[in-house]
Amino acid sequence: MKTIIQVRGLTKAYGQLPAVDHVSLSVKAGTVFGLLGANGAGKSTTIECILGTKKADSGEISILSLDPQKDRRHLFQRVGVQFQECDYQPEIKVSELCEETVCLYKNPADWKKLCTQFGLANKTNSAVKSLSGGERQRLFIVLALIPNPQVVFLDELTTGLDTKARRDVWKILEELKNQGMTIFLTSHFMDEVEALCDEICIIKKGKIVFYGTIMQAIEKSGCEKFEDAYLALAGEEVDAE
């Protein structure tokens, strides 16, 4: 299986704070990779360095065999990114935002089809600002998929979605994975991670504390349930430092 993302010794500090500390990871084509950790663990910084929107202090990063700093334009065409929020004109409609996004890419997906897949078919004429939190979240996934990407980054992908919408999104991601898409996600929902991820990496204060499969995490922790395993491995209990 081809390696889509390869990170070796990624390190990035903000002043004195080591946000990402010698992180190495590798993501194979057509798999779902979960980067996990508490708030402030360093997930977003890692993703931004992989995407080239932040410059690492040291380490090597390759994504789709490209250097994210040197080849950002090429990467832009081949990578999808879901943001928690994105900038849009205050009155813009769903259809207009999708069409604007389509214009940015050489080989865009059919946005209407994506809106239907994500349960937004009857919202295309609505203003983005009028959507519910869950609808907006689904729209951001649609926007991330418009480039027809080979790899997609989904940040806290189902935050704000109701139970059925979450399950629907999982199903679509399974289908995309089966079609060969590589998915890199962050999530604070361990049921979602368990349902979707082939491999996970847990970071704490910028350092990797676990890397492997869900089963290996359960085995290593000695817990029965993955959520307990995650809490034990991530050390999310209040520490006394």
Ligand X SMILES: Nc1ncnc2c1ncn2[C@@H]1O[C@H](COP(=O)(O)OP(=O)(O)OP(=O)(O)O)[C@@H](O)[C@H]1O
Choice between 109 and 231, CB closer to ligand X: 231
Binding flag, residue 122, ligand X (CB under 6 A): no
Binding flag, residue 12, ligand X (CB under 6 A): no
Binding flag, residue 45, ligand X (CB under 6 A): yes
Q: For residues 53 and 197, what is the distance between their CA atoms, to the nearest angstrom?
A: 25
Are the beta carbons of 187 and 157 closer than 8 angstroms? yes
Choice between 50 and 79, CB closer to ligand X: 50
Binding flag, residue 204, ligand X (CB under 6 A): no
Binding mask 19-38 for ligand X (x = CB under 6 A): x-----------------x-
- The region of 43-51, 146-154, 213-221, 233-241 touching ligand X under the rule CB under 6 A is 43-51
Interface residue with ligand X, options 42, 68, 147, 149 (CB under 6 A): 42
Residue type, 58: S
DSSP the chain: --EEEEEEEEEEEETTEEEEEEEEEEEETT-EEEEE-STTSSHHHHHHHHHTSS--SEEEEEETTB-TTT-HHHHHHHEEEE-SS----TT-BHHHHHHHHHTT-SS---HHHHHHHTT-GGGTTSBGGGS-HHHHHHHHHHHHHTT--SEEEEESTTTT--HHHHHHHHHHHHHHHHTT-EEEEE-S-HHHHHHH-SEEEEEETTEEEEEE-HHHHHHHHT-SSHHHHHHHHHT-SPP--
Binding flag, residue 40, ligand X (CB under 6 A): yes
Closest approach of Cβ 239 to ligand X, in Å? 15
Binding flag, residue 44, ligand X (CB under 6 A): yes
Binding flag, residue 53, ligand X (CB under 6 A): no
- The region of 12-20, 101-109, 145-153, 170-178 touching ligand X under the rule CB under 6 A is 12-20
Choice between 119 and 160, CB closer to ligand X: 160
Tokens linked to 175: 């289908």
Interface residue with ligand X, options 10, 25, 41, 61 (CB under 6 A): 41
Task: Please work out the total of residues on this chain that contact ligand X, with binding judged by CB under 6 A.
Answer: 11
Choice between 202 and 214, CB closer to ligand X: 202
Closest approach of Cβ 236 to ligand X, in Å? 12
Q: For residues 241 and 226, what is the distance between their CA atoms, to the nearest angstrom?
A: 26
Binding flag, residue 16, ligand X (CB under 6 A): no
Q: Which residues of this protein are in contact with ligand X, per CB under 6 A?
A: 14, 17, 19, 37, 39-45
